[in-house]
Amino acid sequence: MNKYEGNILIIDDDPDVLDSAKMFLDEYFTRIEIIQSPRQIHEILKKQAIDVVLLDMNFQKGANDGKEGKYWLSYIQELCPETVIILMTAFGDISLAVEVMKLGAFDFIQKPWNNSKLLATVSAAHKHRKSRTELSKSRATNKALNEDIGRKHIEMIGKSAPMLRLKEVISKIAPTDANVLILGENGSGKDLIAREIHRCSQRKNENFIRVDLASLPESLFESEIFGHIPGAFTDAKTEKAGRFELASGGTIFLDELANLSLNLQSKLLTVLQNREIYRLGSSKPIPVDIRLICATNQSLLKLVEEGKFRQDLYYRLNTFEITIPPLRDRKEDIPELIHYFLNNYCKKYRKTVPHISGETINKLKQLNWAGNVRELQNAVERACILSENKNLEFQDFFVQDVEPSDLNADITNLDELEKRTILKVLKNNGGNLSKSAQELGIHRNALYRRLEKYGL
């Protein structure tokens, strides 16, 4: 017969009880652990995830009040809240049974037990534990997906030659399960391309999980990416499924890959090689079936040469490498992008779509758009919010064109771009904050916050 996939821990000071229970339950569950002293609980639960605990109510000779059982029940609940606990006693005190059930025990078994009753109780507890796990994973998945709400329905806009080539490459790559490395400047649409690959893949009906490595502290990486079990670290009160586990069956997108330290690169490489993860604090492998897409705005080859990125990981990640053209190399797409964003934002803010003259469009096309599509999108949103006219003029977009030579060739960080833009506007307005804020299309208080942020 097929066994239930479950870890059962039996705690009783009587070795005969332990042996008897283990021998019987071994036929039905994949792993049975037995210990005589509850003081070993912490060591056991730290090493592995336990689904169901059968806990004796009394350990001291002659004791029959159940105080020890209630104490260790509370202890296990604090250490591993997801674990389901069944209490055992040789004394059939109904009032005690009701009391421990109120304290959170799943059920109560009197010794000596009937084997059928024991199996039914443990099986029900195991099923309850599985339901808890699935609910917890479902909540974690929903949380991860909810973080992405608002990002999913942006279309790939553009009919320029670079965009047509990009769409053709995606149409060939997407149906495969090959790893993809996306290269491109900040704001060029790496997130959008990753989603488009997933949307056109065989995994389109499964989860797309995005991880921003730039905003993820190294200390939290393993917990967020691989998950953890209760007790893995100080604040780990419950078990948690990591992003790889949540993405299993679908696609995981690791953005800002160049931020990954060499130590974490090694852990990622191991996962990709073995196609399994270990939750933090656990020695139990969990198989994962994922399509991996990564993105960066830096040259990984240069980082490899500098010893900052593992060469073996680089070649495993870039089965296919896609470079997104910057907006300045596909300016013929700007009119379509402007109208697309304008229609969306007017709908969002319940405003009538204003008219934009061909002259205004041509002026916007002449800008360098160092912040790429994201900068254009933000400019259109500002214009939509602030303009009260039926016609949008060039000045309504509050854009400050920055020549590439002003940025230094290696600057792609939008914070640096924003800082330089603010400095330029302040200089043009003689340091007048009100005029500068108006020209930037932001509130004076927002300008104050940015000045404080950049130490200006």
* pLDDT tens-digit map of 5-22: 888 999 998 899 999 999
Residue type, position 372, single letter? N
Please compute the mean of the pLDDT values over residues 106-125 and round it to a whole number.
89
Which tokens go with 288?
A: 């994962």
Would you state the pLDDT for residue 412?
Answer: 43
Please compute the mean of the pLDDT values over residues 171-177 and round it to a whole number.
94
Residues of the chain above pLDDT 90, percent: 43
Please compute the mean of the pLDDT values over residues 172-182 and round it to a whole number.
94
27-86: per-residue pLDDT in tens?
999 889 999 988 888 888 877 778 899 998 888 776 667 788 889 998 888 888 888 999
More confident residue, 404 or 237: 237
Task: Answer yes or no: is pLDDT of 179 > 90.
Answer: yes
Helix (H) or strand (E) holding 445: helix 444-453
Would you state the pLDDT for residue 136?
Answer: 63
Nearest CA-CA partner of 54 in 2, 117, 133, 99: 117
Residue reference for tokens 């995994």:
203
Task: Answer yes or no: is pLDDT of 152 > 60.
Answer: no
Nearest CA-CA partner of 390 in 424, 346, 341: 346
Task: Answer yes or no: is pLDDT of 456 > 80.
Answer: no
* DSSP letter (8 states) at residue 257: G
Task: Answer yes or no: is pLDDT of 441 > 70.
Answer: no
Helical packing angle, 334-348 and 358-365, nearest 10°: 110
Would you state the pLDDT for residue 425?
Answer: 80
Instruction: List the beta bridge partners of residue 210.
Output: 253
Task: Answer yes or no: is pLDDT of 236 > 90.
Answer: no
Asked if residues 151 and 189 have their Cβ atoms less than 8 Å apart, the reply is no
185-225: per-residue pLDDT in tens?
989 999 999 999 999 999 998 889 999 998 888 888 989 99
Which tokens go with 291?
A: 């399509």
More confident residue, 149 or 52: 52
Q: How far apart are CA 91 and CA 101, in angstroms?
A: 16
Domains, the chain, ordered by start: 4-135 (3.40.50.2300), 161-323 (3.40.50.300), 327-453 (1.10.8.60)
Residue reference for tokens 């806990």:
55
Between the CA of residue 243 and those of 135, 194, 290, what are the distances in Å? Answer: 16, 16, 11
Beta pairing class for 291-296 and 180-183: parallel
Task: Answer yes or no: is pLDDT of 135 > 70.
Answer: no
Please compute the mean of the pLDDT values over residues 342-368 and round it to a whole number.
90
Task: Answer yes or no: is pLDDT of 285 > 60.
Answer: yes
Mean per-residue pLDDT over the chain, rounded:
84
Q: How far apart are CA 416 and CA 304, in angstroms?
A: 25
Q: How far apart are CA 120 and CA 277, in angstroms?
A: 32
Task: Answer yes or no: is pLDDT of 149 > 70.
Answer: no
Please compute the mean of the pLDDT values over residues 355-364 and round it to a whole number.
92
82-86, 102-106, 317-321, 417-421: least confidently modelled range: 417-421
Residue type, position 108, single letter? F
Which tokens go with 122?
A: 């443990």
